[in-house]
Amino acid sequence: MLIINCPYCGPRDQSEFSNGGEAHVKRPDGSKEIGDREWGEYVFIRANPKGLFYERWVHTHGCRKWFNCVRDTSTDEILVTYKLDEKKPNLNNFKSVVKTPSGEPEVGSGNFTVEK
Amino acid sequence: MKKKYSIFSLAKNALSGHKEWPKMWRSPEPREFYDVIIIGGGGHGLGTAYYLAKEHGLKNIAVIEKGWLGGGNTGRNTTIIRSNYLWDDSAHLYEHSLKLWENLSIELNYNVMFSQRGVMNLAHNEHDIKEIKRRVSANNLNGIDSFWLSKEEIQKKVPIMNTDNLRYPVLGASYQPRGGVARHDAIAWGFAMRADEMGVDIIQNCEAHQIRTKNGTIEGVETSKGFLRANKIGVVASGHTGVLAESAGIRLPLQSKPLQALVSEPIKPIIDTVVMSSAVHAYVSQSDKGELVIGAGTDSYNSFTQRGGFNIIEDTIRAMVELYPVFGKMKMLRQWGGIVDICPDASPIISKCDIDGLFFNCGWGTGGFKATPGSANVFAHTIAKNEPHQINSAFNLDRFASGRLVDEHGAAAVAH
Ligand SMILES: Cc1cc2nc3c(=O)[nH]c(=O)nc-3n(C[C@H](O)[C@H](O)[C@H](O)COP(=O)(O)OP(=O)(O)OC[C@H]3O[C@@H](n4cnc5c(N)ncnc54)[C@H](O)[C@@H]3O)c2cc1C
Ligand SMILES: [Zn+2]
């Protein structure tokens, strides 16, 4: 289980939060005509990287506010949480621990907390 | 030479302490070029190679697997097999598979331990009852064995179940007698062995790094054992399919999440059918060794850590103990997770794509073990003919543009 640092309330147990999937997804703004395919991509396709991932959480059983997060999906390590109006952090600031696209990290899931 | 398994070969090998069994497949070094490369040595990938060789006469085929055969979800699942899906497209696909399961041990001359002990899906409220009865009717119209069981009939089949004294009482169930369970590893090994005999190269410890394309056509795949050229590539890598698709510039509507299961210490036979409940999310069967095989849910967030959150296990155990108070004092032996690739409509993708020669078989999410032979069979057809089989034509990628989804969320009883 994760400990998630709510930017408003501080570190809390994961059971207080709900996950909201990929962050920073932009709805087509209507400035140009787009086809079914582009709409389909917007509606159905979300990033699914093994490694660093921008995602959203909501502190459902706390302050009920939404916020963003960078998490490594290969280890579940949460690298940073930030408010919705803050700039999205550059992923180059973080080290990716998977060497090949579908490789396994050297320390297994959860173990990064022990390692550090 | 075709390996034969029988009571005699078992007796003969017992005399030599089971040390003389021949290897089930060769492990060759990869060749430079293949007509078809299958990425992913789970049941679906190995089965695809088997049917490509057997039904479509292709011989120059490789299956590359980054770990060991069946080490993905094939070897991690709770092996529930059924075909009582709501929508026609799904019913046809899963029933095609169930029919293949029924003959598979004979076809492969290898015991996949398919045990048709029946599958029950419980109803716990008024809505469940309506939904399940509707599904039972749809199944019957599709010629699938499926019927409604009253509470009394459930009590007779599963006397240890607590049907009344719980928060969500058991009000009835759907039942498919031809459903059941099978041996997870056996289907991977059986397909691998028979594909190998037809000349398919099965290459373990060979990770695909990048799919290479040129002018919209497939060139080959970079692997940990070098670059392998190919005319066609089929990606069957469950949770990792999206990652590989990305390497070819294709975005798939998949999200990868851990799904967990656990087994108990072995006990004497106590439950002789499979019972699933989507409302309280717990399902159980008993293995031939006597362990209870218990399935839990997925984590709410994307992850590739093959382990899953403890809160998920807690929820499932809570439901199990309420439904079967007699299990309350049992010890659990092992717990694990597998990374499942979930599609927005909870249905699979068995499809070609914009790149010539590139095919995907994925999106099986939490429930693709039952589909293994059927999916492999129609995927082989799709690759060989560059066209889908009638049975998988609805499961194309275009549906996410046209909106013609096969929405099995909730419709399929529980998602396994
Ligand atoms: C806990 C759990 C319970 C389940 N219960 C059921 C159930 O009761 N009934 C049911 O029908 N289904 C169930 N499922 C789902 C079922 O297990 C899967 O849908 C099915 O096994 C998928 O088979 P596959 O061959 O497509 O994938 P896998 O068996 O996962 O095979 C994919 C293979 O690809 C390999 N691979 C990945 N990346 C690469 C790469 N880059 N290069 C080379 N190889 C690679 C992996 O190592 C893996 O071996 C369950 C799943 C889980 C995790
Ligand atoms: Zn908060």
Quote the pLDDT of residue B413.
43
Q: Does residue B136 fall inside a structural domain?
A: yes
Q: Does residue B406 fall inside a structural domain?
A: no
Quote the pLDDT of residue B278.
86
Q: Does residue B121 fall inside a structural domain?
A: yes
CB-CB under 8 Å, A103 with B303: no
> How many domains does chain B contain in total?
1
Q: Does residue B294 fall inside a structural domain?
A: yes
Partners of B208 on chain A (C-beta within 8 Å) are 102
Burial zone of A89 (CB within 10 Å; 0-12 exposed, 13-18 middle, 19+ buried): middle
Return the percentage of chain A with pLDDT > 70, whole number: 92
Average per-residue pLDDT for chain B? 95
Partners of A60 on chain B (C-beta within 8 Å) are none
- Under DSSP, the state recorded for B115 is B
Q: Which of B39, B68, B243 to mutate to test the interface with A (most CBs of A within 10 A)?
A: B243
User: What distance in Å separates the CA atoms of residue B290 and residue A71, rounded to the nearest whole number?
Assistant: 40
CB-CB under 8 Å, B309 with A1: yes
User: What distance in Å separates the CA atoms of residue B274 and residue B413, rounded to the nearest whole number?
Assistant: 13
Q: Does residue B401 fall inside a structural domain?
A: no
CATH of the domain at B129: 3.30.9.10
pLDDT band at B4 (very low <50, low <70, confident <90, very high): confident
Closest partner residue to B305 (CB to CB) among A43, A55, A110 is A110
Q: So what's the architecture of A3-94 in CATH?
A: 2-Layer Sandwich (3.30)
Nearest CA to B358 out of B85, B36, B1, B21 is that of B36
* ipTM value: 0.95
pTM > 0.90: yes
Q: Does residue B308 fall inside a structural domain?
A: yes
pLDDT band at B90 (very low <50, low <70, confident <90, very high): very high
User: How many beta carbons lie within 10 A of that of residue B371, not counting itself?
Assistant: 28
Quote the pLDDT of residue B62.
98
User: What distance in Å separates the CA atoms of residue A36 and residue B414, rounded to the nearest whole number?
Assistant: 31
Mean pLDDT along residues B160-186: 96
Sequence-distant (≥ 6) Cβ neighbours of residue B222 within 8 angstroms: B208, B209, B210, B211, B212
Residue B311 has pLDDT above 70, yes or no: yes
Asked whether B185 lines ligand 1 (CB < 6 A), one says no
Q: Which of B66, B301, B313, B339 to mutate to test the interface with A (most CBs of A within 10 A)?
A: B301
Residue B415 has pLDDT above 60, yes or no: no
pLDDT band at A116 (very low <50, low <70, confident <90, very high): low
CB-CB under 8 Å, A101 with B247: yes
The ligand with the least distance to the CA atom of A5 is 2
Q: Give me the residue spans of the domains in chain A.
A: 3-94
User: Domain range holding B145?
Assistant: 117-179+256-342
The ligand with the least distance to the CA atom of A9 is 2
β-sheet bridge partners, residue A80: A70
Partners of B64 on chain A (C-beta within 8 Å) are none
pLDDT band at A86 (very low <50, low <70, confident <90, very high): very high
